C-alpha cells in the first residue's frame, strides 16, 4: 500500500492529466452521441423543430407548398433528393413513386393531389 502512495507522490500533475486525456476524450465523444440522439427532431424533414409548431409531417408541410420550394429547401438543408435524409455518399436507390425519376415523390413536379395518392386502383 505504501508503495502505491509513494508512486502517486512521484507523479506530477502533467503525467496524471496525460493519462486521463484519452478517457476524457472518449467520454466527450459518447456525450456528443447521446446529445445528438436525444435532441428534439421535427416530424417534417423540411422544417426545423422551431418552425414545426403544429407538429405536421413532411407530406402536410404548408411552409413549402410546391415542388420547387420543397426542392430548394431540401437542397438548403443538404438532404438527399431521393430519400430526404442528410446527404450520403452511396446511391440510396430511391425512385419517385409518381414518375419513376431520381427524386423523392414529395419533390415531384408531377405530384398527384393527396386524395388521389390514397386511392387504390381497382382490380
pLDDT at 116: 43
Query: In sequence order, what DSSP letters do the residues of the chain get, joined into one string?
Result: -HHHHHHHHH--HHHHHHHHHHHHHHHHHHHHHHHHHHS---SSTTS-TTT-TT---GGG-SSS-SHHHHHHHHHHTTB-TTT-SB--SS------TTT-SSS-GGG-TTPPPHHHHHPPPP-
Tell me whether residue 51 is in a domain: no
Q: How many domains does the chain have?
A: 2
Tell me whether residue 56 is in a domain: no
Tell me whether residue 97 is in a domain: yes
pLDDT at 3: 82
pLDDT of 38-63, one tens digit each? 888 888 989 988 888 898 998 889 88
Q: Specify the pTM.
A: 0.56
Tell me whether residue 52 is in a domain: no
Task: Name the residue range of residue 31's domain.
Answer: 2-38
pLDDT of 63-106, one tens digit each? 898 999 999 999 999 999 899 988 777 778 888 988 999 899 98
Residue 115 has pLDDT above 50, yes or no: no
Tell me whether residue 100 is in a domain: yes
Tell me whether residue 47 is in a domain: no
Amino acid at each position: 500500500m505504501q508503495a502505491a502512495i509513494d508512486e502517486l507522490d512521484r507523479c506530477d500533475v502533467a503525467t496524471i492529466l496525460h493519462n486521463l486525456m484519452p478517457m476524457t476524450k472518449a467520454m466527450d465523444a459518447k456525450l456528443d452521441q447521446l446529445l445528438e440522439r436525444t435532441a428534439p427532431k421535427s416530424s417534417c424533414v423540411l422544417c426545423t423543430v422551431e418552425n414545426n409548431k403544429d407538429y405536421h409531417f413532411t407530406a402536410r408541410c404548408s411552409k413549402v407548398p410546391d415542388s420547387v420550394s420543397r426542392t430548394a429547401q431540401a437542397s438548403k438543408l443538404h438532404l438527399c433528393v431521393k430519400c430526404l435524409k442528410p446527404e450520403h455518399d452511396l446511391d440510396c436507390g430511391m425512385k419517385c413513386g409518381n414518375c419513376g425519376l431520381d427524386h423523392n415523390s414529395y419533390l415531384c413536379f408531377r405530384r398527384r393531389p393527396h386524395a388521389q395518392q390514397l386511392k387504390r386502383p381497382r382490380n
